Amino acid sequence: MSGGGVASRLNNLAHPQFLDEELSAMVHTTASYDTCVTAHAYTIRAMRHMINNGVLGIEHGNFLDKDLAELMAAKGIYLTPTLVTHDAMATPPYDQFLNEDCSKKKCSRSRFGLERSESCLRS
């Protein structure tokens, strides 16, 4: 995870959770296994931190903007929006998984993620 997640009340989505040195070790180690690192990231700050350190895939990316989408395309970085998970978490029995605060956080990210994904596809 490059930034906080929806299921935690205390994690800020934008705060980096790894140092550059840690990311470098992850990227180099996975490259030695002929694979790549993907990162759980919602915000521009978290995604840019990952991209600047060699990550080749972003999961979620709800706050992706046109500039970052263009950078990702130029570098061949994959985006997996995983928007369906937000819908699944709104239906029983999974709708009881998150507390009220986290549920509100999820709902705001879901709507924004769909809007941004559609916008980036049009770009």
Q: Does residue 49 lie within any of the structural domains?
A: yes
Give tens-digit pLDDT for 55-84.
999 998 888 888 999 999 999 999 988 766
Helix axis angle for 44-52 and 20-32, nearest 10°, is 60
* Among 54, 48, 58, residue whose Cα is nearest residue 82: 58
Domain that holds residue 55: 20-122
Count of structural domains, the chain: 1
Q: Does residue 6 lie within any of the structural domains?
A: no
Q: Does residue 104 lie within any of the structural domains?
A: yes
Q: Does residue 70 lie within any of the structural domains?
A: yes
Instruction: Report which of residues 53 and 91 the model is more confident about.
Output: 53
- Residues facing 78 on adjacent strands: 57
Instruction: Tell me, yes or no, if the pTM score tops 0.75.
Output: no
For position 88, what pLDDT does the model report?
62
Residues 6+ apart with CB under 8 A from 54: 23, 24, 27, 37
